[in-house]
Amino acid sequence: MNSDGNILVFNSGSSSLKFQLFDMDATMPASTVRGTVRNLGDDAICEWAYGGKREHSSVSACDHGTAARYVLELLEPITNADQSLLHTITAMGHRIVHGGDTFTAPTLLTSRALTALDALSPLAPLHNPPALAVVRACQERLPDIPMAAVFDTAFFHELPDYARAYALPAKWIKGSQPIRRYGFHGLAHRYMAECFSAIHPPDTPSSRLITLQLGHGCSAAALRDGHPLETSMGFTPLEGLIMATRPGDVDAGVVLHLLEDGARTASNLSEDLNHRAGLLGLSGVSADMGELLALEAQGHCGAHLAIEAFCHRARKYLGAYQVVLGGADAILFGGGIGEHAPEIRARICAGLSWCGLELDIQANEAATPGTEERISTTDSRLAAYVIPVNEEALIAQDTRRCLSTLLT
């Protein structure tokens, strides 16, 4: 197994599949091809970039396995030095959302590991099965290529016991898969922390970070010296911040009430909580923050309510996590909303002068997507940055390390 060469990374979302091909011969992974198959279904779109050119095509990909097979076919006719890019792949890395207590580090995807991951699928039914379908599609096409799994939950495996425990009946929390807070978006939060550590001035305090991953799914984390002390998502990705179609924190009594009066079945509730709540539920019209901002500007009351609730929830977590950390040195914004919506960043940061945050309004508005930018004033005691997250690069690095360890 050669852990250098080219590593192909797949990052499965609930309705999309991101991919990047990395040249690992360099000190840092260099992306040569990157793209996304989005809106999986009969009319899915594949967008990709290679050699400075951007392409897109329509594809019928109703599931993640089909999308992965399409990507592999896409790479085969593309050549570099007269060699098919498909045949330059020496390893593959896959993002798996939930590793439970079984997988707490990057792992070689053997048949035994896949069996264990299948058993974990009930913990993340919207995410793990699609990712495993991608793995199996790749194994069918490239059976001799070693593959590693990198887990979103692994970063939060060492949360303090008091932070990951739910105050539930003892018999609930001591099974083979205990009911506890696992945390998600670990790759994104870890990437932001590592990137900030690399770019911030060496004489700037940086041990206490609050990271906000704001996209279709949203989460916050409190980190000290790169290690998590708290995070907003829990047993599932439903807890915490308001998201595009997920509610975040909600009284469990609401769920009991709906079950007991027969208004909803467990299946109905799962569908509603995962796909019809959040920004979509509050606004009544859209789960897309860009669309909601445009509608709010036109006077749409539902859009205004959704945005205000979204920002209020994020501010509440910022305040709580400063208590957890004993004060913070920086707030880091990542994800599609965190990177592309300066209005939302400004509204989340509004009224935080009490903790030393002074937003640089011009820097915030001018922050360029795709680059790390400081958006607080130079004399702000609490710094704020935008950190574009590249989970695929982290997965490639972890895959290389995982396979290198197996070779030694």
Q: Is 391 annotated as a binding residue?
A: yes
Q: Is 95 annotated as a binding residue?
A: yes
Question: How many residues make up the chain in this entry?
Answer: 408
pLDDT of res. 26: 64
Predicted TM-score of the model (pTM) = 0.94
Q: Is 11 annotated as a binding residue?
A: yes
Q: Which residue has the higher pLDDT, 193 or 125?
A: 193
Domains 6-151 and 186-386 are alike in CATH topology:
yes
Q: Average of pLDDT values for 197-204?
A: 79
Q: Which residue has the higher pLDDT, 274 or 204?
A: 274
Q: Is 308 annotated as a binding residue?
A: no
Q: How confident is the model at residue 2 (pLDDT cuts 50, 70, 90)?
A: low
Architecture in CATH of 186-386: 2-Layer Sandwich (3.30)
Q: Is 73 annotated as a binding residue?
A: no
Given a cut of 90, whether residue 138 has pLDDT beyond it is: yes
Q: Average of pLDDT values for 261-276?
A: 91
pLDDT of res. 4: 59
Q: Is 171 annotated as a binding residue?
A: no
Q: Which residue has the higher pLDDT, 24 or 138?
A: 138
Residues 25-73: pLDDT tens digits? 766 678 999 999 998 999 999 999 998 899 999 999 999 999 999 999 9
pLDDT of res. 125: 84
Identify the weakest region by mean pLDDT among 246-260, 261-275, 328-342, 385-399.
Answer: 261-275
Report the share of the chain in percent with pLDDT over 70. Answer: 96
Architecture in CATH of 6-151: 2-Layer Sandwich (3.30)
pLDDT of res. 316: 97
Catalytic residues, by residue number, are: 152
Given a cut of 90, whether residue 177 has pLDDT beyond it is: no
Given a cut of 90, whether residue 395 has pLDDT beyond it is: yes
Residues 324-351: pLDDT tens digits? 999 999 999 999 999 999 999 999 999 9
Place of tokens 């006719």: 77
Query: What are the Cα distances from residue 216, in Å, to 219, 237, 374?
Result: 10, 11, 23
pLDDT of res. 200: 80
Domain ranges of the chain: 6-151, 186-386
Q: Is 96 annotated as a binding residue?
A: no
Q: Average of pLDDT values for 227-236?
A: 96
Report helix angle 186-199 to 391-407, nearest 10. Answer: 90
Residues 96-116: pLDDT tens digits? 999 998 999 999 999 999 999
Place of tokens 């009319």: 43
Q: Average of pLDDT values for 269-277?
A: 94
Q: Which residue has the higher pLDDT, 408 or 374?
A: 374
pLDDT of res. 29: 72
Residues 287-315: pLDDT tens digits? 999 999 999 999 999 999 999 999 999 99
